[in-house]
Structure 1
Amino acid sequence: MDLLPPTDRSQDVSQPLDRLSPDETLKAESDQLRGTIALGLLDRITSAVPGNDIKLMKFHGIYQQDDRDVRDERRRQKLEPAFQFMIRVRLPGGICTTERWLKIAELACAHGGETLRMTTRQTFQFHWVLKQDLVPLIRGLHEVLLDTVAACGDDSRGVMATVYPEFPALQAELADLAKAVSDHVIPRTGAYHEIWYGEERVAASGPEEPFYGRTYMPRKFKIGFVIPPNNDIDIYAQDLGYIAIVGGDGRIAGFNVAIGGGMGRTDKAPHTYPRTASVIGFITPDRLYPVTEAVMGVQRDYGNRADRARARFKYTIDDKGLDWIKAAIEDRAGPLDPARPYAFTSNADRYGWTESDDGVHHYTLFVENGRLDRDLLDRIERIARVHKGHFRLTPNQNLMIAGVAAADRPAIEALLAETGLAALNARSTLRLNAMACVALPTCGLAMADSERYLPSLITRIEAILSRHGLEKEPITLRMTGCPNGCARPYIAEIGLTGRAPGKYNLYLGGGFHGQRLGRLYRENIGEAAILETLDETLGRYAAERQPGEHFGDFTIRAGIVREVTEGRFSND
């Protein structure tokens, strides 16, 4: 079934190009994302992709980057930047067979600088990929039926699904839905197959993109599925979130629909801000496709295409009003039922062994910031070659060895011990609850380090926690190298976003399970000020907290920060 075509005031070909931003015009004139990408790949004079094609390549799951560590030196030597590429895999729900794991690791070692990243959206990123390696890598993924379609760009990004091992039937159902929805909403253009697989262009009898048109979505659009009580995918950070409601028979009765979440903001632009999603109603499972189409269609047709900084769905909702947006969705998909009760208690992973209700075992392995180097890839490969189940990438950048039969558990346990992988879980509670984006040296948007710096900063914060007797207290800490929020810092109890090398904004007051935004507490501060501030606030928390009170809740009750009730007020 194809997605419904543009309706109402569609920003498709009927919209005059002079009313669109430059990015919108580029999409409209790209021949459905083809541009001149194929020719640019043949240009050996530069290690970059010439012109604006790199913006189109984002729709193909590819970002052009350069090594920021050597940028200044290369400029002094009058050399072009050390260009390379990041490639993101489309992996709905984070499901990865052992066959796929082995292939991905092989490609990372051959084309990705012997490193691999597990992201905060349950997928893989290759970094350090050279231009001549793009086609071999993408074709290598195709050998195990993987692609990078819509992993980036102004379309529906990778669809997330909760990792909930206790009830495998529910988890499997959600993973299947994530895959089905992802397949349903990705672009239909033949550009990907032509450029990367070398296929011939086939004439279409109708519009090549019946839903997306020529200008696609105004900005990226993120979808996720979750089962309470664990909000591991951070449902309130999704443009469209489906909260599964389990009936008395143990099956999914339907979904509460949450819309308008988004973490990004632009530095020194107060009209941009993070926003938590709003729950607008309940639907039964048979309405999943129509409602998804309706929500995406409303954003496609009414999203801001003149100011890219205000193009996310969260701004469309705040500009039009939540009631107006809900009515527009219901006009297309029919009335929504009232939302049903639910409760979240955490957004963390459960480490180590878990036995599900069918007697199968699952082991969650801590991987700091999702960073897999050659040594770690080699150690996990030994498990992948004997494991009879599959892997799950978690939304917290960790790895679950899933589906281990009781008879096979001793062999997996022995390998975990022999390879030293089991020892990775012997970390502080704070470290186990922390996340960071990649940032420097590869991300072009990064203003400061994140992935490389957070481990050492946590070591210093661990000393503070120990001094105050808080070593075992679960506190969420997240860091990004810029304000875009890829590691979802704005809903952490302690959030750090990069402003300049060694300088960060510090946010406090986020919800323990991602239900509330934090508020800016200290701006543009270095490590000494970060540690001094946390020493003071954590000291007060240790002395003044109430039984069972989380740190984020305490900072609000104690008057350290004011509660953020809506994202648009977070800059007040």
Structure 2
Amino acid sequence: MKSDPRAKLPDAPLTDNERLKDQSDYLHGSIAQDLKDGLTGGFNGDNFQLIRFHGMYEQDDRDIRAERAEQKLEPLKNVMLRCRLSGGIISPKQWLGIDEFAAEHTLYGSIRLTTRQTFQFHGVLKNNIKPMHQWLHQLGLDSIATAGDVNRNVLCTSNPIESSLHREAYEWAKAISEHLLPKTTAYADIWLDGEKVFSTELTAPQTKEIADKAEPILGKTYLPRKFKTTVVIPPLNDVDLHANDLNFVAIGENGKLVGFNVLVGGGLSMEHGNRKTFPNTAYDFGFVGLSDVLKCAEAVVTTQRDWGDRTNRKAAKTRYTLQRVGVDVFKNEVEQRMGVPFQASRPYAFTERGDRIGWVEGEDKKWHLTLFIENGRLLDYPNKPLKTGVREIAKIHTGDFRLTANQNLIVAGVSARDKAKIEKIAREHGLIDDKVTEQRKNSMACVAFPTCPLAMAESERFLPEFIDQIDAMMAKNGLQNDNIILRITGCPNGCGRAMLAEIGMVGKAIGRYNLYVGGNRAGTRIPRLFKENITADEILTQIDAWIAAWASEREAAESFGDFAVRSGIVKPVVNAAVDFWDESKIPA
């Protein structure tokens, strides 16, 4: 008789998150009543967690937290909302709508493009939260399942070149997203006064039997932890597939999509000093044809739903389930649930990871302009009114916008006759800057201070001046046309994807970071810890020496990450579950 992998779970009580999901009345909680509480700008009790299932996180402005405390005021509580935007595509009309809301109803006025290939509003006060959801709904948008223990916004390679293949892959990203969405009416009931959102109307069920029918994929208590999915079109790995739980790598034949290779169990979050946590690359399960894609997605999610650890949230992600039960055991269960075996994986290769900044022409003869947006922050800066520039483009653009997983923006589907007009607007507003270096284009940071409550160190605000100094080092060594994939995150949760960088910095305390090195250009290797808890100045001194050595000792076209491994700066991470924390491979 086959053993049940659930028997290997710790004999321990469930986490409190499991209780609150179970008692939430299918994500309703008492959020509607809480909205009427004018005594606090935040949410009470379980609702602090439950609003995440509706796409929001409660935050406050940490820059003024101490000042408000001295004034006997509570922190300036507000929410960050992340939109659901499968594949990152949005129309110019929708863009104009979100631009207007950001300008008139948020504390900061900005639109933030994120590594989840969507946009975020930051600084929405409590009285504007319900109007925000209604505003999005009128635009045909929502924030369902962009946070919380569910499958989140599904990413898709932005690929502006192979237009027909991208169109097919994008439709699959949308279909996977819709298939895995929660079916509860909580979102509509709370934010839209019950207006129908889904194709099937459901009422909040009261029994397990009804619940299983109402939430047949996610179940009454949803997933053990957050779950992330991508659709990837080689040779571009612009979505960093190894940062995600479930990945569909598009396989084309004669320009036509025929199916996907499926990779499971990637993820980057960890905890400082906790050796039971680790980043991990995804495991190749094999190939599925198009008729089995949704069955495969559902089978992976339900297996993780049933087998994931609900007693310890730090061990609840898919990669830890795979480690606990075994990759082959998990894969066999997925095959049984979807009713077909995986075929042998089809060959593919990744040759690029970043976005192709500037104009490219697609096979459909349309033009696509990728705009570099540093840190994804669209705001009007002195002499650089970026947000206004995109708004002006949206007023005349007849194609669509594509948000990339590298925090950039593509003005897609531009006809030849409109190309010069759009470029003129972009240049006038600083959206095209010929002085932006290759290094800056390949550097990235998460939000961190002042809004992220988890931030331990600066990231977004720190990156620009830090890259100024890296640029000077590159130029000094004749490498101004080359780059190192460099990423900074304010904490070890992984939002900035530093654990897939050639050089990654992970915040430890104000002004101090853990320094990692040795990832690769393709995004298929985890970097290794080089030094812990060091200052930015110490990091710059170290990188300066590394760049000089790389310039003088590199082999032909050798990337920095490969050089770091070959030259012995660090030993490569081969199997993160085993050797990520191996002190014998960390430099003395």
Normalising by structure 2, report the TM-score: 0.93
CA–CA separation in structure 1 for the residues paired with 2:235 and 2:61: 41
* Structure 1 residue aligned with 2:307: 302
Residues 185 and 203 in structure 2, CA contact (< 8 A), matched pair in contact too? no
Is 1:134–2:143 an aligned residue pair?
no
Q: Kindly tell me: are residues 370 and 221 of structure 1, through their superposed partners in 2, closer, same or farther at Cα, counting changes over 3 Å?
A: same
Is 1:177–2:172 an aligned residue pair?
yes
Q: Kindly tell me: are residues 38 and 286 of structure 1, through their superposed partners in 2, closer, same or farther at Cα, counting changes over 3 Å?
A: same
- The 5-angstrom pairing of residues 472-483 of structure 1 reads 472-483=481-492
* Structure 2 residue aligned with 1:421: 431
Q: Match for 1:198: what amino acid?
A: D
Is 1:484–2:493 an aligned residue pair?
yes
* Structure 2 residue aligned with 1:153: 148
Is 1:342–2:351 an aligned residue pair?
no
* Structure 2 residue aligned with 1:104: 98
Q: CA deviation at 1:278?
A: 1.1
Of 38, 42, 55, 1:44 maps to 38
Residues 449 and 501 in structure 1, CA contact (< 8 A), matched pair in contact too? yes
* Structure 1 residue aligned with 2:330: 325
* Structure 2 residue aligned with 1:535: 544
- The 5-angstrom pairing of residues 41-440 of structure 1 reads 41-112=35-106, 113-199=108-194, 203=203, 206-207=210-211, 208-247=214-253, 249-333=254-338, 334-374=340-380, 375-423=385-433, 425-440=434-449
CA–CA separation in structure 1 for the residues paired with 2:496 and 2:308: 24
* Structure 2 residue aligned with 1:35: 29
* Structure 1 residue aligned with 2:585: none
Q: CA deviation at 1:380?
A: 1.0
Give 5+ residue unaligned stretches, structure 2. Answer: 196-200, 583-588
Residues 9 and 301 in structure 1, CA contact (< 8 A), matched pair in contact too? no
Q: Match for 2:42: what amino acid?
A: A
CA–CA separation in structure 2 for the residues paired with 1:9 and 1:25: 22
Q: Match for 1:187: what amino acid?
A: P
Q: Match for 1:19: what amino acid?
A: P
Q: Match for 2:360: what amino acid?
A: T
**CA deviation string 1:195-251 (max 9, x = no partner):** 00112896468323222222100001000011111100011111000111111x211
Residues 5 and 325 in structure 2, CA contact (< 8 A), matched pair in contact too? no
Q: CA RMSD in A?
A: 1.7
CA–CA separation in structure 2 for the residues paired with 1:110 and 1:10: 50
Residues 516 and 564 in structure 1, CA contact (< 8 A), matched pair in contact too? yes
Residues 518 and 528 in structure 2, CA contact (< 8 A), matched pair in contact too? yes
CA–CA separation in structure 1 for the residues paired with 2:89 and 2:149: 24
CA–CA separation in structure 2 for the residues paired with 1:367 and 1:34: 37
Is 1:557–2:566 an aligned residue pair?
yes
Q: Decide which moves more: 386-395 or 66-75.
A: 66-75
Q: Which consecutive segments of 4 or more residues in structure 1 shift more than 6 A?
A: 8-11
Q: CA deviation at 1:472?
A: 1.2
Q: CA deviation at 1:82?
A: 1.2
Residues 184 and 204 in structure 2, CA contact (< 8 A), matched pair in contact too? no
CA–CA separation in structure 1 for the residues paired with 2:249 and 2:87: 14
Q: Match for 2:290: what amino acid?
A: P
* Structure 2 residue aligned with 1:4: none
Q: Match for 1:539: what amino acid?
A: A
Q: Match for 2:374: what amino acid?
A: E
CA–CA separation in structure 2 for the residues paired with 1:74 and 1:47: 13
CA–CA separation in structure 2 for the residues paired with 1:395 and 1:135: 28
Residues 10 and 300 in structure 1, CA contact (< 8 A), matched pair in contact too? no
Q: CA deviation at 1:353?
A: 0.5
Give 5+ residue unaligned stretches, structure 1. Answer: 1-7
CA–CA separation in structure 2 for the residues paired with 1:42 and 1:404: 46
**CA deviation string 1:24-60 (max 9, x = no partner):** 1111111111111111110001111111211000000
Q: CA deviation at 1:419?
A: 2.8
Q: Match for 1:388: what amino acid?
A: T
Q: Match for 1:242: what amino acid?
A: F
Residues 87 and 156 in structure 2, CA contact (< 8 A), matched pair in contact too? yes
CA–CA separation in structure 1 for the residues paired with 2:235 and 2:316: 32
CA–CA separation in structure 2 for the residues paired with 1:380 and 1:527: 34
Q: CA deviation at 1:461?
A: 1.1
Q: Match for 2:182: what amino acid?
A: P
| SS of alignment partner, residue 59 of structure 2 | strand
Q: CA deviation at 1:91?
A: 0.3
Q: Kindly tell me: are residues 189 and 204 of structure 1, through their superposed partners in 2, closer, same or farther at Cα, counting changes over 3 Å?
A: closer
* Structure 2 residue aligned with 1:3: none
CA–CA separation in structure 2 for the residues paired with 1:513 and 1:426: 25
Residues 67 and 442 in structure 1, CA contact (< 8 A), matched pair in contact too? yes
Of 453, 457, 472, 2:462 maps to 453
CA–CA separation in structure 2 for the residues paired with 1:349 and 1:241: 19
CA–CA separation in structure 2 for the residues paired with 1:225 and 1:397: 17
| SS of alignment partner, residue 396 of structure 2 | coil
Residues 185 and 204 in structure 2, CA contact (< 8 A), matched pair in contact too? no
CA–CA separation in structure 1 for the residues paired with 2:148 and 2:304: 15
| SS of alignment partner, residue 35 of structure 2 | helix
Residues 373 and 431 in structure 2, CA contact (< 8 A), matched pair in contact too? no
CA–CA separation in structure 1 for the residues paired with 2:39 and 2:342: 56
* Structure 2 residue aligned with 1:507: 516
CA–CA separation in structure 2 for the residues paired with 1:74 and 1:567: 43
Normalising by structure 1, report the TM-score: 0.95
Q: Decide which moves more: 65-74 or 510-519.
A: 65-74
Is 1:462–2:456 an aligned residue pair?
no
| SS of alignment partner, residue 164 of structure 2 | helix
CA–CA separation in structure 2 for the residues paired with 1:203 and 1:78: 43
Q: Kindly tell me: are residues 209 and 9 of structure 1, through their superposed partners in 2, closer, same or farther at Cα, counting changes over 3 Å?
A: farther
Q: CA deviation at 1:473?
A: 1.2
Percent identical pairs in the alignment equals 46
CA–CA separation in structure 1 for the residues paired with 2:353 and 2:496: 13
Q: Match for 2:194: what amino acid?
A: E
